């Protein structure tokens, strides 16, 4: 069977299963199996695909048809220009979260300390360390399996992988020390919204990384209150938020004694980041 025929078969199979980006996903899965790129379909579509590759591809198509996210099948998601390894133990890094990283990078100076609460794949902390100089960071997560993934990402993506420390902890339980920056993209989806999400998300991404309980604000309250002990005076707290949470999260920060509270929009014009400064 030729490369193009196999692609057509994969594409049709994904389409009938209701996979949204059937064309793109069929191509990307084929490229990941055959170690090819987008040119191959255009230029080498008539080459023959090895039997073992054909089988691996059709197996991936079968799994994608059951709505396992593409990134869990290819094992990678790009974020801030870096290739993060991902698996079912971590949330797939979202482009929206790049806004959070870019906002922190504006204020981050050489040698500062950063804590990333609910680090997941480590994408936020690792990007911040990758694009700064001599900073040190701690990534915290309740899930040991998520931390394993984050640690591996740090080893691959950081020049000095010992600039990141990974701590298993239920929020601040096992945290010590002081930080100039605390950043977090915590679980923030309301419990009753979870069943309405696409199957890729609700059935396959870790529920622990999604659900912010009844009003979606549980983790903002706890982190804003508990983090103060770990911030230097003048230290800053940055949160990613859901687009309808700016007002509520700003109020939580104000209540916890933060000043100069700001909301930043994402490229779609939706509220995406809230940050503030803590004066002890």
Q: Give the interface with ligand GLN as residue ranges (CB under 6 A).
A: 91, 93, 97, 118-121, 123-124, 185-187, 209
Shortest Cβ 194–ligand GLN spacing (Å): 13
As a whole number of angstroms, the distance between CA 49 and CA 205 comes to 32
As a whole number of angstroms, the distance between CA 38 and CA 98 comes to 25
Closest to ligand GLN by CB, 16 vs 243, is: 243
As a whole number of angstroms, the distance between CA 213 and CA 273 comes to 20
Closest to ligand GLN by CB, 42 vs 81, is: 81
Shortest Cβ 51–ligand GLN spacing (Å): 37
SS3 11: helix
Closest to ligand GLN by CB, 40 vs 245, is: 245
Please give the residue whose beta carbon sits closest to ligand GLN in the complex.
120
Shortest Cβ 130–ligand GLN spacing (Å): 15
Closest to ligand GLN by CB, 27 vs 138, is: 138
Shortest Cβ 254–ligand GLN spacing (Å): 23
Closest to ligand GLN by CB, 22 vs 86, is: 86
Q: Do residues 62 and 101 lie in contact, with contact meaning Cβ atoms separated by under 8 Å?
A: no
Here the tokens at position 216 are: 């979606």
Here the tokens at position 173 are: 């339980």
Shortest Cβ 54–ligand GLN spacing (Å): 34
As a whole number of angstroms, the distance between CA 61 and CA 67 comes to 10
Q: Do residues 164 and 125 lie in contact, with contact meaning Cβ atoms separated by under 8 Å?
A: yes
Shortest Cβ 250–ligand GLN spacing (Å): 20
162-185: b (≥16 Cβ within 10 Å) or e: ebbebbeeebbeebeeebbbbbbb
**Shortest CA distance to 261 belongs to which of 276, 246, 247?**
276
Closest to ligand GLN by CB, 242 vs 276, is: 242
Here the tokens at position 264 are: 């930043």
Closest to ligand GLN by CB, 184 vs 250, is: 184
Q: Which residues touch 211 (CB under 8 Å, ≥6 apart)?
A: 187, 189, 191, 194
Shortest Cβ 124–ligand GLN spacing (Å): 5
Q: Which residues touch 259 (CB under 8 Å, ≥6 apart)?
A: 276, 277, 278, 279
């Amino acid at each position: 069977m030729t490369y193009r025929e196999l692609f057509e078969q994969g594409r049709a199979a994904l389409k009938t299963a209701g996979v949204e980006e059937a064309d793109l996903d069929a191509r990307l899965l084929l490229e990941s199996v055959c170690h090819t790129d987008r040119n191959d379909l255009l230029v080498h579509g008539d080459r023959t695909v090895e039997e073992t590759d054909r089988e691996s591809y059709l197996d991936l198509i079968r799994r994608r048809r059951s709505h396992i996210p593409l990134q869990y099948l290819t094992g990678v998601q790009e974020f801030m220009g870096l290739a993060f390894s991902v698996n079912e133990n971590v949330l797939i890094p979202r482009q929206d979260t790049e806004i959070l990283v870019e906002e922190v990078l504006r204020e981050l100076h050489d040698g500062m300390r950063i804590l990333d609460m609910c680090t997941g794949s480590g994408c936020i902390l690792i990007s911040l360390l990758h694009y700064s100089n001599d900073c040190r960071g701690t990534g915290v997560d309740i899930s040991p399996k998520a931390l394993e993934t984050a640690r591996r990402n740090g080893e691959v993506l950081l020049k000095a992988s010992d600039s990141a420390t990974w701590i298993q902890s239920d929020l601040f339980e096992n945290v010590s020390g002081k930080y100039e920056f605390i950043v977090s993209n915590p679980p923030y989806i309301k419990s009753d919204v979870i069943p309405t999400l696409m199957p890729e998300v609700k059935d396959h991404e870790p529920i622990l990384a999604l659900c912010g309980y009844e009003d979606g604000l549980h983790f903002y309250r706890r982190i804003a209150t508990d983090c103060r002990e770990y911030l230097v005076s003048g230290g800053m707290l940055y949160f990613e938020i859901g687009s309808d949470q700016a007002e509520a999260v700003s109020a939580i920060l104000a209540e916890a004694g933060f000043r100069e509270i700001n909301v930043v929009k994402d490229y779609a014009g939706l509220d995406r980041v809230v940050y503030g400064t803590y004066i002890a």
